Chain A
Amino acid sequence: DQQVKQNSPSLSVQEGRISILNCDYTNSMFDYFLWYKKYPAEGPTFLISISSIKDKNEDGRFTVFLNKSAKHLSLHIVPSQPGDSAVYFCAASGRSARQLTFGSGTQLTVLP
């Protein structure tokens, strides 16, 4: 039973528009959430994170929103650029746990 779910395997967006990637979780013990970006033949790289005490965290073009009551988080990329084309993984960890539980990933393609 997947505790972190990314229900959209792929997403295509026009350059300059907003990309919205979604993630749902089922484990109420999760209190820290992260997004990773992965290019082919490379390891995942950390993008942005959010603690459960916040509902929004922003870093440049990237914003993560957390809705604890719905157990849902989303990553917004504005404006989207062709270099943003990659697989995006949502991840979560619980109190005192340092290991991450990942979703299955969403392939984002930004069209020029």
Chain B
Amino acid sequence: DAEITQSPRHKITETGRQVTLACHQTWNHNNMFWYRQDLGHGLRLIHYSYGVQDTNKGEVSDGYSVSRSNTEDLPLTLESAASSQTSVYFCASSDQSNTEAFFGQGTRLTVV
């Protein structure tokens, strides 16, 4: 069965470190998204991609970057982790014809 997986599920890192969260989907979807979930804010869009070599900034992109070198993967990098980036991160994907996105199980990141 096709799926979308995130790794790691949990990570603790120190302030200032570079961190990369992985997202891999086997749906062959063109569209991929990264969201963060925080209490009182719901899900906020960090970055998104409509295809290979395409990346776009979302609502809360400062301090984050993504790259899309193939269809299956959209890794999210925190260049220099800050305590404000402690959150739960969700990756999602959708195909060209549908707006409904499928979500991964999330990565809980703690920056200490």
Contacts and interface: CB of A to CB of B under 8 A. Distances in A.
Interface stretch (B38-46, B60-68, B73-81): B38-46
Interface residues of A, number: 24
A75 to B, nearest CB: 15
A105 B42 CA distance: 6
B100 A99 contact: no
A49 B99 contact: yes
Contacts of A4: 42
Contacts of A32: 99
Given A42-B105, A99-B33, A104 B40 contact: yes
B42 A104 contact: yes
Interface in B12-36: 31, 33, 35
Interface residues of B toward A: which range? 20 to 34
Contact of A89 (B33, B42, B50, B102): B42
A102 interface: yes
Contacts, number: 55
Contacts of B33: 99-100
B104 A43 contact: yes
Contact of A102 (B44, B102, B105): B44
A58 to B, nearest CB: 17
Contact of B101 (A46, A103, A104, A105): A46
Nearest to A105: B42
A44 B99 contact: no
Interface in A48-94: 49, 89, 91, 93
Interface of A: 4, 6, 9, 32, 34, 36, 41-46, 49, 89, 91, 93, 98-105
8 contacts: A36-B103, A43-B90, A43-B104, A98-B94, A99-B48, A99-B58, A100-B45, A102-B35
